[in-house]
Chain A
Amino acid sequence: MATTFDVSTKQTGTEPACRACAVAVENVHKRFANHNVVDGVSICVKSGETLAILGRSGTGKSVLLRLIIGLVTPDAGSLCILGQEIAGMSLDQLGEVRKKMGFLFQHAALYDSLTVGQNVAFPLVHHRTDMSKAERGERVNQLLTEVGLEGALNKMPSNISGGMQKRVGLARALALDPEILLLDEPTAGLDPISSGEIDELVLKLQSEHQMASIVVTHDLHSAKTIATRLALLDRGRVVIEGTFEDLERSDIELVKQFLK
């Protein structure tokens, strides 16, 4: 069953709802060029949960993820990550919170001048200065094995397929053992077999690491497979939030259309 907040009482990082959820988004608004992209969204994701955010293109799903990781700042509302209000934080303060988060970009966003191994090692090089080079190499190999890319260490991102790039992106997102994992369309543009593999991988990682995960997707099958709850966004608002069965039982026309 979904959770919503009484927004009038929960606006800072010290409130109970903020402490109860790994990711607590409360009444967040974001406007681009007179267009309300995110229009009063409230969600809560606890550790061990996976929330899938569904919706048509341009309904603000990716912007919501970018708000959560601080790449976009909200016009209004509260964004509480692991008990800390991130709105208004400086870039370095935000960096401390981001170290506990992993983000898989829609197009993987790998550093094209670095090898696969260097891409995965990037967060370790910058944040795990206590690690020796050998330990770092071991960790990179472990992460690549975890995502099924043992032999790709020295390949360049341009020389691997889209599915492999997503896996590398996932390995990079997991490098610092995040408590929160954000996945922006992890199966978009992939064939059904690769999509299935990515879904299995996310499920496996989820059961092993018990992170709070938010997955933005158009892929209903993928959402049903990996998510514990789903939220349907339309014109920047959450239309419905609940389990897949809740959505199936809904009599809201948009939900029915979407499930068709």
Chain B
Amino acid sequence: MTTVPATAPNLPVPESPSVPEAGPPSAGLVVGFFEWFGNIGIFGWQVLKAAVTPPFEFRELIRQLDDVGSKSLPLVALAGGAIGVVLSMEVRSSMSRFGATSLLPSAIVYSIVQEMGPTITGLVVSGRVGAGIGAELASMKVTEQIDAMEASAVNPYRLLAATRILACVLMLPLLTAAADACGILMGWLAQTLVSPISLHQFIDSGFRGATLGDFLPPTFKTAVFGLIIGLIACYQGMSTRGGAEGVGRAATNSVVLASLFVILADVVLVKLILVLFH
């Protein structure tokens, strides 16, 4: 039998493999703000390191592409279509005041493709996918499933975070293209019900004088929205604490923060596109 004395040598503190915590601001809002950015930066770096080193989780990536992409498609298409109808009605009212109804197809197409489609897609995906990822990962975290994954020598940054973030980055531009197409189609439908015009004529008139530079950058900027949505949702989920309440908080914070940062990023990206492509 042995009783064990305890003396503490000053040994180096090792690097922590765990996700930095998304706790409340510990010393005021400013510190909390920078703390959050610091932690999400560390989290992003861990995910990037895991994503570029083998083994690559292709099966999980395909599952996430389906979850983020095809399962979001009906919602995004519906939102895009609704925006097309609303734009058609609103723009018609404004244009007719200035006698510029002939510019209606161009106004609708440009509005949708350059701004409304990407933004609406970003916000819809923030809501559906952001909440889903945040809640799912938070639930796994509080029930120790993520710890169990780590204990099974599976890197959760690679299997859970990298696959979801990459799926968001890849799928957002495709979903945006779908939202744009539905918006233009429904915009034409709303237009043709009031003043009949063929789809061919509408498209022809809408895209007249347009270059790829007008349409590709706004569509591909949504890859950045995807990065924001995926990163924030994964971070909020994997760093949550506190049982069911923590899961709810993670889901809510994922949606709110992802939506907010999508809009803020849009401001920067629009300016960047104007500088680089016009």
Contact = CB atoms under 8 A, between A and B. Distances in A.
A4 B152 CA distance: 29
Interface string B96-109: 00000000000000
B2 A109 contact: no
B264 to A, nearest CB: 31
A208 interface: no
Contacts of B6: 27, 39-41, 237-238
Contacts of B2: 1-4, 240-242
Contacts of A39: 6, 8
Nearest to A129: B55
A107 B144 contact: yes
A74 B14 contact: yes
A242 B2 CA distance: 6
Contacts of B157: 91
A228 B16 CA distance: 33
B151 A101 contact: yes
Given A73-B18, A78-B11, A105 B1 contact: no
Contacts of A77: 8-9, 11
Interface of A is mostly: mixed
B18 A71 contact: yes
Contact of B148 (A103, A237, A239): A103
A198 to B, nearest CB: 18
Nearest to A5: B4
Interface string B125-154: 000000000000000100111011111111
Nearest to B12: A88
Contacts of A126: 55, 152-154
B15 A90 contact: yes
Given A27-B8, A96-B153, A239-B3, A73 B17 contact: yes
Given A92-B53, A98-B151, A250 B1 contact: yes
B152 A122 contact: yes
Contact of A127 (B14, B143, B153): B153
Contacts of A92: 50, 53, 155
B64 to A, nearest CB: 13
Contacts of B152: 98, 122-123, 126, 172
Interface residues of A, number: 62
Contacts of B155: 91-92, 95
Contacts of B145: 109-112
B13 interface: yes
A112 B143 contact: yes
B245 to A, nearest CB: 18
Interface in A76-101: 76-78, 87-92, 94-96, 98-99, 101
A204 to B, nearest CB: 22
B7 interface: yes
Given A40-B6, A109-B144, A91 B17 contact: yes
A163 interface: no
Contacts of A107: 143-144
Contacts of A122: 152, 154
20 contacts: A4-B4, A40-B8, A71-B147, A77-B9, A88-B12, A89-B14, A90-B17, A91-B50, A91-B150, A94-B153, A98-B153, A105-B148, A107-B143, A109-B143, A112-B145, A122-B154, A126-B154, A129-B55, A238-B6, A250-B1
Ranked nearest first, the 9 interchain pairs of A and B with the lowest CB-CB distance are A40-B6, A246-B1, A242-B1, A88-B14, A109-B144, A98-B153, A109-B148, A87-B14, A95-B153
